[in-house]
Amino acid sequence: MVTSGFERRTRAGATYATLALFAVYCLFPFLWMVDTALKPPGEVRSLNPTFWIVNPTLENFRHVLTDGNFLAYFRNSVIVAGGATALSLMIAIFCGYALSRFPREPITRTVGGALLMSQMIPGVLLLAPIYILMRELGLLSTYRALIIVYCTFAIPLCSFMLKGFFDGVPGELEDAAEMDGCSRFGFIYRILLPLAAPGILATALFCFVTAWNEFLFGYVLINDEARRTLTPGIMVFKGPHLTDWGALMAAAVLAVVPVAVFFVYLQRFLMEGLTTGAVKG
């Protein structure tokens, strides 16, 4: 069907207007958070809040960075999220490979079914058992406790994601590598991982962000202020009688921006990884 130039421009305008509306809707909380972080206390507590800032200030950011333990919280989150991501990937790569290459084996089906069922259990139901287990193991208020817990929830999802990416690598490549004398581990290291690198990066990003943003277990399992992670640490600006909204929003901005910049920088690899796992043949 032939369409006129006016009709094409109208459709394109309506499409972009709709996308812009959804973008504003999604970005509004973040923009309001940045706006509040740049306001002095008097404007934050105004009875008629607006986006317009009469006296913009960076005092809230200075207060967060210099008067508290924000940098220590940030470091702890990097250690925990990075450790959980690295450990989850090391295990999920081999698990995803087994799920991809041996789908008909009974043990593979059993493990796959167990991983799938584990994703159906809400994490909050496991909070008390995990707390008791970590207490008995003497791991409360340690990085290891959070890394183990985050790996518990990340490994099943990472394994299924990597299975989809590994399914896109032809089995003939493995047969050819085996004929050339390459071992199974050699094939995984030299051939499979480079070919699936975008998918592995996409999986790592999702795992890292999940661990970075987790609040409940970080709040319950860590009681030592020196080991507290970022999301529970931000709650120090919310007191029982008064909330420092400017500092709270500034801390939230500082927690979000590094991950957002990381996502933007690696967006090309992320999209490539997602499409690699989605297209077969």
169 found inside a domain:
yes
Q: For residue 268, what pLDDT is reported?
A: 66
pLDDT (average), residues 53-69 = 86
Both 152 and 30 in one domain: the answer is no
Q: Which of 188-192, 205-209, 265-269 has the lowest mean pLDDT?
A: 265-269
Both 85 and 221 in one domain: the answer is yes
Per the CB < 8 A criterion, the answer to whether 224 and 232 are in contact is no
Both 108 and 16 in one domain: the answer is no
Kindly tell me if the per-residue pLDDT of 11 is higher than 80: yes
167 found inside a domain:
yes
Q: For residue 201, what pLDDT is reported?
A: 86
Q: For residue 280, what pLDDT is reported?
A: 46
Both 222 and 267 in one domain: the answer is yes
Both 158 and 235 in one domain: the answer is yes
Q: For residue 81, what pLDDT is reported?
A: 93
- % of the chain residues with pLDDT over 70: 91
Per the CB < 8 A criterion, the answer to whether 90 and 147 are in contact is no
Both 181 and 248 in one domain: the answer is yes
64 found inside a domain:
no
186 found inside a domain:
yes
> For the chain, what is the domain count?
2
Both 16 and 124 in one domain: the answer is no
Both 88 and 54 in one domain: the answer is no
Task: Report the chain's mean pLDDT, rounded to a whole number.
Answer: 85
54 found inside a domain:
yes
Question: Where do we find the tokens 């817990």?
Answer: 149
Q: What is the DSSP letter of 52?
A: -
Both 45 and 81 in one domain: the answer is no
Both 75 and 139 in one domain: the answer is yes
Between residues 31 and 275, which one has the greater pLDDT? 31
Q: What are phi and psi of 243, to 5 degrees?
A: -110, 125
What's the whole-model pTM score? Answer: 0.82
Both 35 and 91 in one domain: the answer is no
Per the CB < 8 A criterion, the answer to whether 154 and 210 are in contact is yes
* Integer Cα distance of 58 and 246 in angstroms: 10
Domain edge (last residue) among 16, 38, 59:
59
145 found inside a domain:
yes
Structural domain including 20 reads: 5-59
Both 83 and 41 in one domain: the answer is no
Give 243's strand partners. Answer: 238
**pLDDT category of residue 131 using cuts at 50, 70 and 90:** very high
Question: Where do we find the tokens 């999702």?
Answer: 206
65 found inside a domain:
no
**pLDDT category of residue 260 using cuts at 50, 70 and 90:** confident
CATH of the domain at 183: 1.10.3720.10
41 found inside a domain:
yes
Give 238's strand partners. Answer: 243
